[in-house]
Structures are given as C-alpha cells and as structure tokens.
A and B are shown apart, each in its own frame.
Chain A
Amino acid sequence: AQSVTQLDSQVPVFEEAPVELRCNYSSSVSVYLFWYVQYPNQGLQLLLKYLSGSTLVESINGFEAEFNKSQTSFHLRKPSVHISDTAEYFCAVSEGSQGNLIFGKGTKLSVKP
C-alpha cells in the first residue's frame, strides 16, 4: 500500500532564507508525485507535480522538487522564501492505476520577518 511521510510537521524560517520540506513515499509500483499548498482558510492548490521525464520540477513561484527514485523522496525546496509562502504544504502520491491521491500529514511553513 502507498504511504507518504512528511518528516517535519512544522518548519519555521526567516524571510529570504532557503527552505526544504521533506517528503518520502512508499510504493511498490511506479508513482506520480505532487505537492499541494493550503493557505489559511482555503482549499488545496496544486504547487507542482512529477509525472515523468525530468526528475526536477519547478513551480511558477520559485519552488522546486526533485524526484529521487532510489531514496523514494520528493523533497520541496525554495532558495529564498517570502512571508507570503506561509502555508501548509502537502506531499501526495498516486499509483499508475489509480486516480485518487494519498496525502502526507502536511508541513506547516512559517516565514518570519
């Protein structure tokens, strides 16, 4: 069965500092990987996805994630965070034959001035 582990429940960081949110998954078959972001009192929004091809994927607001098959990881990184990046970030996985997503428990990113 698939599962997703987000190793940090909370990550506090100062503005303009780099950040890495860690995500590991377990699956016996090929997977598709996603990061979603949830701002306070809002629904989930897709941040970026890995479906196939290049293992490094980027979002439009400066986040990137790298699919590492050998380490079964899909860590999210940003070289310089802004106050507006404060949100909860969810890593998710789906297997090739299924449409539903299995989510990790989320990481709350708190960016301080």
Chain B
Amino acid sequence: DSGVTQTPKHLITATGQRVTLRCSPRSGDLSVYWYQQSLDQGLQFLIQYYNGEERAKGNILERFSAQQFPDLHSELNLSSLELGDSALYFCASSVGHGSGANVLTFGAGSRLTVL
C-alpha cells in the first residue's frame, strides 16, 4: 500500500457521460498529480495541485477539470466522455511542489472504460 488512495478502482460508463475520480494523497503530502495511461499515448501528465492551488498543467483536455480540496484530497472530473478517454488514471502525491527532487508516490489507479 503506497498510502495514496484512489477510488473507484474500475468504472464503466457510456459516451457522453461524466465521471469523477477521487484521490487521497499520502499523509503529509501537499501536492497531487494526475496522469493518464493509455496504450497509444503512454503516461501523460495532466495536472498538478499544491495545497489547493493549481501549479502545473500538462496535456489536459478542456473537457477535463480537477480540483484539490482543503483536506487535500483531489478530484478529476471527466465530462462528455469519448471512447478515446478509456484509460488508466493515476494519482500521485509528493511533499512539495516546485523542486524536481520531489519523489512522487503513485496510487493503484482508476481504470475507466467508455462504451
């Protein structure tokens, strides 16, 4: 157990729908990162939050949004889902934010299947 908790583990939904993925960071970590893992694109960085504030943005679609709450958990919202959004979504956490020396700890992932 890495200490990073992601729910749900599996999610099956239909095109056009909206889903929310949830992440609780490791105790003491203030930064949360979201990654998408798919067969064709590999691991893509989506977005990072630090203590409630957005810190960095990667290849996140406009249909996707995220936030980090005062208790430091984070949610990734995916809307108007398309078949191509089917992927494994990972959350990771770290203590700090701006230093590349931060080590990221990953959760087990949420597998999204869009039918």
Taking beta carbons and an 8 Å cutoff, which residues of A are in contact with B?
31-32, 34, 36, 42-46, 49, 51, 90, 94-106
User: Quick check: B106 and A44 within 8 Å, CB to CB?
Assistant: yes
Which chain B residues numbered 1 to 34 have a C-beta less than 8 Å away from chain A?
Answer: 2, 4, 31, 33
Q: Which of B42, B98, B109 interacts with A97 by CB under 8 Å?
A: B98
Q: Is B108 an interface residue, CB under 8 A from the partner? A: yes
Known A43-B90, A99-B94, A100-B33; contact A106-B43, beta-carbon cutoff 8 A:
yes
Contacts of A106 in B (CB 8 A): 42-43
Distance between Cα atoms of A43 and B107 in the complex (Å): 6
6 smallest beta-carbon distances between A and B, as pairs: A94-B100, A103-B43, A105-B42, A44-B106, A32-B100, A43-B106
Taking beta carbons and an 8 Å cutoff, which residues of B are in contact with A?
2, 4, 31, 33, 35, 42-43, 45, 48, 50, 55-56, 58, 90, 92, 94, 96-109
Distance between Cα atoms of A34 and B105 in the complex (Å): 12
User: Quick check: B103 and A46 within 8 Å, CB to CB?
Assistant: yes
Apart from the given pairs A43-B108, A100-B33, 8 other A-B contacts in the complex at a CB distance below 8 Å:
A31-B100, A34-B103, A36-B106, A43-B2, A99-B33, A99-B56, A99-B99, A106-B42
User: Quick check: B106 and A99 within 8 Å, CB to CB?
Assistant: no
User: Quick check: A99 and B43 within 8 Å, CB to CB?
Assistant: no
